[in-house]
């Protein structure tokens, strides 16, 4: 039984416990009454799942066991055994107008004085103890079985390089923003933060991704979200999908900036450096695992430049130092699916299949950033060459000392003001395109054709015609257009050899007369 995309995704992470068993057929029903059910229905349709109407589900004619990942809704109408799973980590938020945590409130877990569920699966013994102190009756069907979603994340960690490649991260540091839903969420309180980060972080050093709670997507819709985030998206922001892709982004991340949403606990369990961006309020339960985590990590402040704060958090991270912050939320690590399978098959009255349950590794994320078509560029001479820092021109970032633009993709106004114009691909149709660019755009001082990742041709307004060869060295190739900004800054007139410093990378550059 799903009520929202969030609860559906949790149920899908559990279904591997039944994999390969032809005795078990999964059916889905969408319970009425949730404001966030639209995306759940679309996801079920996309997965090809067989669904039955709620009115049929409550007859009990189709099922021997019901699974739900939320205590809300008319669960008491479902006949037969019911297994209740959590749909987050840590039970960190207050239930509206109550002091108890949502998901552990007896008012949600009891009906007519009796437990709704025959199994209430919890991730940590402290959650069971918390519930037992409040209501022994509500705690009676509760058992600690661990967290299946964390188990899936853990088994997906060998895919980190693949996930980073799919996201286009390269050698950059991936900064992931996580925002829960509601008025106290990061995106509600700091809607400008994605744009400010993409504007002020050097493009060749950092990549930024935003992980949104599925309820935020369901409430506002993709169209409105893309409209609000348009400046940041044009500056390279990645928006991973609400199912599976967010987990791949966490694994790929180098640092996570978080509000009080439970996604941060998964990031901590993966030992990712964390920076808190929650301003306080009524939602966070004071003694919850999330509250404890936020009390121990650095805080993001608008009073200091973001690059310095991120660099300090990355430099201060010690491997293994963050993982213990997630310990109050997760137990039975590595055995969650096996424990859960034992309990679910007990409710079914069947013997489970032999062997362990194998978690399904996360697929590569399909979300890719929009290409940035123009940059404001800061250059500075070094003893052996030039240091280049680029910032997306679509964002409100540093002014730089020149504008560099992709001649085939940038807006006309950017082409008319760019000092460096470049075109990617073989020189077809116009063999000497740089000469044509200099003639058409008077503001252009350097025009270049990128022929391959390591080869370009350049013309300058001063009359130089040069071949550029880039020695990328070990690691992924850097963007040749960034190296061209270093060439532009050198004001070359003939043969030259120097080094281009770009973020954490240094590449060799050789110029020779064309």
- What pLDDT score does 96 carry? 65
The answer on pLDDT for 309 being more than 80 is yes
In the structure, what pLDDT confidence band is assigned to residue 97 with cuts at 50, 70 and 90? low
Are 51 and 133 in the same domain?
A: yes
- 103 and 115 housed in the same domain: yes
* Pair (146, 210) in one structural domain: no
Q: Is residue 361 part of a domain?
A: no
Q: Coil, helix or strand for 362?
A: coil
- Is pLDDT above 90 for 163? yes
Assess whether 414 and 461 both reside in one domain: yes
For the stretch 211-246, pLDDT in tens is: 998 888 877 888 888 999 999 999 999 999 888 899
| Residue of 326, 336, 386, 443 whose CA lies nearest to 86 | 336
* pLDDT confidence band for 3 (50 / 70 / 90): confident
Other residues' Cβ atoms within 10 Å of the Cβ of residue 404: 27
pLDDT exceeds cutoff 80 at 268: yes
Same domain membership, residue 160 and residue 33: no
**pLDDT at res. 411:** 94
Facing residues of 148 across strands? none
Q: What band does 98 get if pLDDT is binned at 50, 70 and 90?
A: low
Last residue of a domain, one of 268, 296, 328: 328
Can you give the CATH number for the domain in which 223 is found? 3.40.50.12580
Statement: residue 346 has pLDDT above 90: yes
What pLDDT is attached to residue 396?
A: 74
- The pLDDT tens digits for 70-83 are 888 888 898 889 99
**If you average pLDDT over every residue of the chain, what do you get?**
90
Q: Which of 271, 294, 328 is the last residue of a domain?
A: 328
Same domain, 139 and 178: no
Mean pLDDT of 95-107: 72
Tell me what pLDDT residue 392 has.
95
315 within a domain of the structure (yes/no): yes
Residue 398 sits in the same domain as residue 498: yes
Beta bridge partners of 511: 468, 496
In a domain, 354, yes or no: no
Judge if pTM exceeds 0.75: yes
Tell me the H-state helices in 141-281.
148-156, 160-167, 186-189, 193-200, 214-228, 230-234, 245-252, 263-269
What's the residue count for the chain? 514
* Tens digit of each residue's pLDDT (9 = 90 or more) over 367-409: 889 999 999 999 999 999 999 999 999 767 788 999 999 999 9
Return the residue matching tokens 């109407």. 53
Show the CA angle centred on residue 343, arms to residues 339 and 348, nearest 5°.
145
Q: Are residues 273 and 311 in the same domain?
A: yes
Residue-wise pLDDT for 186-209, tens only, equals 999 999 999 999 999 999 999 999
User: For the chain, what percent of residues have pLDDT higher than 90?
Assistant: 65
The CA distance from 67 to 108, in Å, is: 16
Please report whether residue 265 resides in a domain. yes
Exposure letters 490-501 (e unless 16+ CB within 10 A, then b): bebeeebebbbb
Residue 358 lies in a domain: no
Using the predicted structure, report yes or no on whether residue 89 has a pLDDT greater than 90. Answer: no
In the prediction, which pLDDT does 221 show? 80
Is 255:163 a contact under the CB 8 Å cutoff?
Answer: no
For residue 508, give Cα distances in angstroms to 333, 449, 470, 476, 486: 47, 18, 6, 14, 11
Residue 300 pLDDT class (50, 70, 90 cuts):
very high
Average pLDDT on 448-467 reads: 95
490: containing domain: 374-513
The three state secondary structure string of 414-452 is HHHHCCEEEEECCCCCCCCHHHHHHHHCCCCCEEEEEEE
- The reply to whether 277 falls in a domain is yes
CA distance 434 to 445: 10
Question: What pLDDT band is residue 429 in, cutting at 50, 70 and 90?
Answer: low
476 and 508 share one domain = yes
Within this chain, do residues 441 and 319 fall inside the same structural domain, yes or no?
Answer: no
Compute CA distances 502 → 70, 204, 232, 372, whole Å: 48, 7, 22, 17
Q: Which residue has the higher pLDDT, 427 or 352?
A: 352
Q: In this structure, is residue 365 part of a structural domain? A: no
Q: What HEC string does 375-407 produce?
A: EEEEEEEECCEEEEEEEECCCCCCCCCEEEEEC
Report the range of poorest mean pLDDT among 94-103, 135-144, 378-387: 94-103
Q: How far apart are CA 195 and CA 26, in angstroms?
A: 42
pLDDT confidence of 109, banded at 50, 70, 90? confident
* Residue 266 vs residue 4, higher pLDDT: 266
Beta-carbon count within 10 A of 55 CB = 10
The pLDDT of residue 22: 94
- Tell me, yes or no, whether 367 lies in a domain: no
pLDDT reported for residue 384: 96
Last residue of some domain: 287, 313, 348? 348
End-to-end CA gap in the chain: 68
Do 312 and 337 belong together in one domain? no
Number of domains the chain contains: 3
The residues, any chain, with a CB within 8 Å of residue 55's CB and separated by 6 or more, are none
Q: Which of 166-180, 424-438, 481-495 has the lowest mean pLDDT?
A: 424-438
Same domain, 457 and 494: yes
* pLDDT digits 0-9 by tens, 39-60: 777 777 777 888 889 899 999 8
Q: Cβ distance 424 to 406 under 8 Å? A: yes
């Amino acid at each position: 039984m799903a009520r929202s995309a969030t609860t559906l995704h949790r149920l899908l992470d559990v279904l591997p416990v039944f994999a390969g068993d032809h005795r078990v057929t999964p059916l889905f029903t969408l319970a009425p009454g949730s404001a966030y059910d639209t995306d759940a229905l679309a996801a079920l349709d996309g997965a090809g799942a067989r669904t039955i109407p709620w009115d049929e589900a409550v007859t009990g004619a189709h099922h021997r066991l019901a699974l739900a990942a939320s205590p809300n809704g008319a669960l008491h109408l479902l006949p037969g055994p019911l297994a209740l799973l959590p749909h987050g980590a840590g039970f960190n938020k207050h239930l509206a107008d109550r002091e108890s945590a949502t998901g552990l409130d007896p008012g949600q877990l009891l009906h007519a004085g009796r437990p709704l569920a025959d199994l209430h699966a919890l991730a940590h013994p402290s959650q069971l103890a918390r519930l037992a102190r409040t209501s022994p009756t509500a705690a009676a069907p509760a058992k600690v079985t661990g967290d299946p979603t964390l188990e899936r994340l853990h088994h997906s960690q060998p895919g980190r390089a693949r996930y980073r490649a799919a996201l286009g991260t390269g050698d950059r540091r991936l900064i992931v923003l996580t925002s829960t839903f509601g008025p106290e969420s990061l995106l509600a309180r700091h809607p400008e933060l994605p744009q400010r980060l993409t504007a002020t972080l050097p493009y060749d050093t950092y990549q930024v991704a935003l992980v949104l709670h599925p309820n935020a997507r369901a409430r506002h819709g993709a169209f409105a979200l893309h409209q609000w985030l348009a400046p940041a998206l044009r500056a390279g922001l990645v928006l991973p999908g609400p199912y599976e892709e967010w987990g791949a982004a966490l694994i790929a991340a180098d640092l996570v900036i978080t509000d009080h949403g439970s996604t941060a606990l998964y990031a901590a369990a993966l030992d990712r450096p964390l920076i808190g961006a929650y301003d306080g309020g009524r939602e966070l339960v004071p003694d919850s695992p999330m509250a404890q985590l936020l009390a121990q990590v650095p805080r993001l402040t608008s009073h200091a430049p973001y690059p310095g704060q991120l660099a300090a958090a990355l430099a201060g991270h010690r491997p293994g130092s963050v993982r213990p912050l997630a310990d109050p939320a997760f137990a039975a690590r590595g055995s969650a699916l096996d424990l859960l399978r034992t309990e679910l098959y007990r409710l079914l009255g069947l013997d489970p299949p032999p062997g362990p349950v194998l978690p399904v590794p996360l697929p590569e994320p399909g979300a890719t950033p929009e290409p940035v078509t123009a940059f404001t560029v800061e250059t500075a001479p070094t003893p052996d060459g030039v240091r280049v820092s680029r910032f997306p021109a679509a964002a409100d970032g540093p002014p730089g000392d020149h504008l560099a633009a992709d001649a085939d993709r940038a807006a006309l106004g950017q082409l008319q003001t760019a000092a460096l114009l470049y075109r990617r691909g073989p020189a077809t149709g116009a063999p000497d395109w740089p000469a044509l660019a200099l003639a058409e755009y008077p503001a252009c001082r350097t025009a270049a054709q990128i022929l391959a990742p390591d080869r370009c041709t350049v013309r300058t307004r001063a009359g130089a015609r040069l071949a550029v060869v880039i020695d990328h060295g070990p690691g992924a190739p850097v963007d040749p257009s960034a190296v061209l900004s270093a060439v532009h800054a050198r004001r070359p007139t003939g043969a030259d050899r120097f080094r281009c410093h770009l973020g954490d990378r240094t590449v060799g550059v050789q110029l020779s007369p064309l």
